[in-house]
Structure 1
């Protein structure tokens, strides 16, 4: 694991890069790459969606880049965070050999507010490429995974106009469900029906937009579970209160049914990318 900065002087961004160790009796491998955007309401980077999530993908043979995108402490978030993300994708695609990754197997993953940024990028990458003066292929990602994402800032989060302004500034393109085009990547998206912070309508509207544009997608809306489930296992549960005598201490965030999302995502991705064939052909 190491950190580096990319994106140039206009939109610098720090990336934490995780690379699986080489297997001694295998020839050198090109890894698929996960570009990971933790949630945190554009105020911080949620730990339960950060390194621990990166390690889940690492264990499956992916390289992982965790992106410390712009937060609301440097308002507005947009469009700067989008250009930071564009700089990260460009870095990995142009220097794929250096990072030992496959530039045609980049999975963009975002949770909550990180999911908002990921969804916007999936919608807008051709426009961002034009604005940066690079070819569209330079900024393309191959697939998208969204967990309990914010999709439209009009759809229940954030709650105030002032908070929205710190995210959008004067940038008009911030309602991700209204920006989907036929160039969006295949998308896996999940949430829970009773998410108390980011209503499930965010996910439903994005799925509808993807379907209308003919984008390959798989959506999972689990019946129950609070916002921020991450892996939905004890390892990423956090307390409902900080009183360990509370019988509900962390239990709301352990959902065995929801915990299956990670493996179902990998199964879906295998269908999209033929991952088993990808590994065998190296």
Structure 2
């Protein structure tokens, strides 16, 4: 894969997103790291820049279209046309369905589904013009198997899978592939916060129920992103690439 293709990663300052940013940046790609975590953005981008990587950090709320468009203008100006997008930004929380009020539901949809819409739609003109592009969305195995106390999360991530498949069909003739990765249990700060809050079981307990008995890592997901973004995956589109240790097989 050419090392000069501009990569955009949302939720790029920690967890899965940071794993993806690090992989592509260290492979020589110009990478835009978008997130809401100011301190993490500054710290992680500076660390990669000290290694010689070309990284642009921007504070972005993916649910705000103007925020996304402003960031993309800076990316195009400083790095160039966008070629690869990894739409990873998202939130998760445990709430019983009967306790999900309308604002809680809307916030989940705005960030986890509409945020993907903004992130991808605003980048696609560059890919259509180039007749080459890679879109990778991060969904969740909760969209495939369901998850107790996370109906709103499962619904949003299910929407991401449906959106991915529709875009794969619509943009295939433009040389653009669109695929999704639905992780299961991944050792990230978000998961650790859930464990600490008592809304998520300890990762070592969950690992006992995974055929490959360990939590996933951001590096596991990043490796799959690298494959889907490669020239070698030019005939792979509309697919759900389950990187989950066998926790969900279907």
Larger RCO, structure (CA 8 Å, separation 6 or more): 2
TM-score with structure 2 setting the length: 0.46
More strand by share: 1
More helix by share: 2
